[in-house]
Structure 1
Amino acid sequence: MAVPGRKVSDDNLTVFCQPCDRDGERLAAHGYCKNCCEHLCESCHKHHKRHTLSRDHILVDKTNMPQTIQPPSNFHYQQHDDFTKPCHKHKREAIKFYCQDHNELLCSVCVTLGHQSTSCKVGYIPDISENVIDGKEYLEMLKTMDSMSEQFRKIQDRIYRLTVKANKTLANVLEDIELFRKGINQKLDELEKQAVVEVNVFQDENIKMLKEVEKACNDRTRDLWTSCDSMKRLNCSKQAEKLFMEVKSAERMIEDCEKRLVELAKFKVHGYSFTPNETITSKNSLGILVHKTMRDESTTKESMIFERELSYHDYICVETAKDKPMCWITGMTLLTPNILVITDNHNMAVKLADTCSKSVTDRLQLDSEPYDITSVTGTELAVTLPYSDTIQFIAISSNKLKQQHTIKVDGNCWGISCYQDKLVVSFCDPAKLQILDMDGIVLKTFQDKNIFKNPLFVEAVSSSIYISDNVMNRLTRINWYGQVIGSYCDMDEPRGITLSDDDTVFVCYKERRVLKEISRDLFAGNVLKVIKWPQAVCWCSETKKLYLSSDNANYDYDDYDNFLHIYDEMS
């Protein structure tokens, strides 16, 4: 077998085909590939030009090829021989390729059997992994894995606390049993023992369940730590190919961990109380152990609703001289506590409102009806134009609104929310949710008729996305992988949504004519304010003020639709 860096010393100084030589067959070289830095026999030379992955490689004939097997100084041959991660489908093959369309690490057999279509973007890992060292994807993956490890730790701690608390209730049960027994005769001693045995069985079940959760959390945390350590080591040693494969494998691990987190979060720990049997006979038991779902006070913040009260403060008239029909404020966002930007759908305009002077200071006429609006940066906004399938970007400079570029989207876009340079956009007919980058490239699409039917408003935060659907009549919370992690169904045509500084959710109930506050895990809710036809809502965490618009669909009530109503949080 030919060795890189060593001149072949056959009697006639023949240079052999390197691919065939590795399979044990020696054939004279007919040409040379400059990309692969390998000598090729006549058959390999011919097929090299036809294969999808190598058709663009530079080939030279026998007269122009190198006469030794010494690779160029800038070619790290030893790295290419360092493919050791086996393919999960073909155990005897090493992973060498990556399909961008399917987000899969592949061996040569995978490429040949399932990824030769022109629609598949398959890359050779040494060619595409050069920027992974200290790269953005590597750094973000470390952060994600650290965050997920912390989530597993928190779930483990929570289940432990609940188990301790539940076992305390069982101790109280034993006390109740003893007190009850003292009121009856000696015959109940035997039945008491039976009840104690039953308590211990349930206690053992709690401990068994705790051990299951501990093992699941420890196993996943260990896997995450192992992968993190491996990536850090590979990054330090500049092993790009292995690091690239480890990062891509970690993506799959993250998806599995996300699903596992949802499963573990559903675990319930049961406590017990004791109900005496007043009509006990020799054939009865001493009493009944009744299940109670335990709640953890230290981790109920997501399920808490802060008992805030709102008082009416003032209003802002948003009607201008250029407006013809009655205003319809469908969306709003705060850039600063003093600058509120709103969309007036009926008048096809975006308006700049000063919350101090309580007046409209600028008005931008559009060519189509805007619906929702979100801030992208401190001076840039994005507005949905559903009837033109467009997202319009708008800049603010010197308190003036100015149109910038637009991006076309796939359908009637309604709700929009921006988080970390990603746009979350809702669509109707067909109902779906898309995550876009700032150039309009679709990163993810979620389309499930069991989740969405008419998603109007969205609000994106670090861990989840909230969607109000006025046909499903519910508020839904999904993670960034599209999995449902919460829903609130006690609704009637929900519209605008916004999050407070303590992460509770304000939702407009148009038909019920109320504003409701719901815990961020969508577990509980209560009515904050009765208001006529609420449409859009915006919360200012600095001033503790709430801004509300109305949609009465009746031109006789312009005193509502032409005004934004301001409420203060009462201390």
Structure 2
Amino acid sequence: MSTKSMAVHGRNLPDKPFSNLSKNHDDDSNIFCNPCEQIGIKAPGFGICMSCKEHLCEPCFDSHKKRSRFHMLLDKFSIPKTFHAQLKQTKDDEFTTPCFTHKKEKIKFYCHDHDELLCSVCTTLDHPRNSCKVNYIPDVSGQSLNSKNLVEILEAMDEVIEKCKDISSDVKKKTNISNEALTDVLTEIKVFRLKINQRLDEIEREAEKKMQVIKLKNDSNLKRMEIICNNVKMKLTESVDLLKQLNDSKQADKLFVELKTAGKLVKDSKKTLLQFRSHKDIREYHFQPNQELLDSIQKENAIGKITSVFHQETIDIKTSQDKYKCWVTGMSFLTHSKFILADSGNVSIKLVDLVSNSTIHHLKLETAPWDVTCVTSEQAIFTLPNEKSIQFVSTSSNKLSLKQKLKVDGECYGISHCQDKLIVTFCYPGRVKILNMKGKILSEMKARFGHIGHIFNLPFYVTSNSQNIFVSDAGKQSVLRFNWNGEKTGSYNDLGSCRGLSLSPDGALFVCNHGSDDIHHVSPDFKSGLAIVKSLEMPIVVCWSETSRTFYVSNDSTKHNLNSIQSFKMVETS
């Protein structure tokens, strides 16, 4: 576009804008209109507004004179020769930011080639004009006003600020969790110590009772000995007195008889006293401390171990084929570095590699899967509730392919494989059945005779080992334990609406406490449990890796990133 056709503030520029400049102002050739520069136009200066301290081209000068009647304007013929330098010095005085390299210098220039702010020393030493495109900042700063770059930077800064707010909020939440954890752990230690003290008090009372029994027996025997001894002494004393009396009174016949009687009395008394000397009825007793207990108290972690859990990483499971948000309702390990999952949200199954933390294969299904269990490292089985069927899947060569399908007699949800058998849960109505690998029903878990009500309500998930079968019942808000004969052997009820289960080799359970937003760790004896990770926002599936001491969790809340799996590592603190 020619200079002639350009318009500034609604006015046309002159045909030859440089022709009106005074020939006595050759150094003015690099002076341009400041308002025009701000919109990207290089219009030569014609005059100056002393009030605004701005150079103006002729159209801007005329327009400014009309709009700002009380401003002092000087045309090119009236401007003092030194004023351009003074105005430039005024502009220079506006620079206050020190150079990043030369602290005593101020930033005045910009290098386009290196996208760097410079001082005059930088331009001389590191960014000479013969090799870099360098501009005096006032010459190019006008284009920043209302620019696209300004909008982008503001948006980027807003985004970072929002992230900072999120992190700050998360830090506050985690600080509260950490503080609560300290309080909870100290309370648990005190409760445990109280239990120990109570047990020691019981042991002490039991020992005292035993010693009291021994003492009572000793007291009884000693009393009996004292009585017998007193009787012997009394008889002998009486006999002595009688013998002396008869002897003094010269009653020989009676003395003879009493002597014989006294001899027998002495013999019998000695025999009685001889029994007392053996002390066989008197027991001595003493206390021998339990050295094993003393040794155990001297050991590290004598009263127990402190286990810490921390968020390790986030694994993105969304693929390019996914049209919707992921909703992971089932997950199971194939190997220590790969697991397979059911993405009900995208009606698909996925193979995830933990080395690359990515989905390495994806297979679309006709109906949404719910749960999954692994038979071998190359075979998995999914439940398809809407189809009332069980789908076998091959995972060989890191590829997923559909195999045989078994029809079942209801909407199947949870599934577990153990000892070449399948344990399957059904909802609507709630049932749990044990099948062989061909789908034949071997047994069903039922309530005992006389039991009132249904044994299951909403048994969404199940897991098992060679001894027990564990069923997570969301309706009953509990985990139920059964033996392989289908007999209920226990329950853990300190839960909300529970979901997924994962079993550790020692028999402890990890439970998704969906209603209370935490992962619950239940002891192998089913007598105790605690929330080891809180504020998870509706966890639905948990999968434990004994090899890495890590568990993986999927969530059921839109507040969370449903397109990812969260991993948490457990560490025992010495």
Please say which structure displays the higher CA radius of gyration: 2
Q: Comparing both structures, which one devotes a greater share of its residues to helix?
A: 2
Q: TM-score, normalised by structure 1?
A: 0.47
Q: Which has the higher contact order (CA 8 A, sep 6+)?
A: 1
Q: TM-score, normalised by structure 2?
A: 0.47
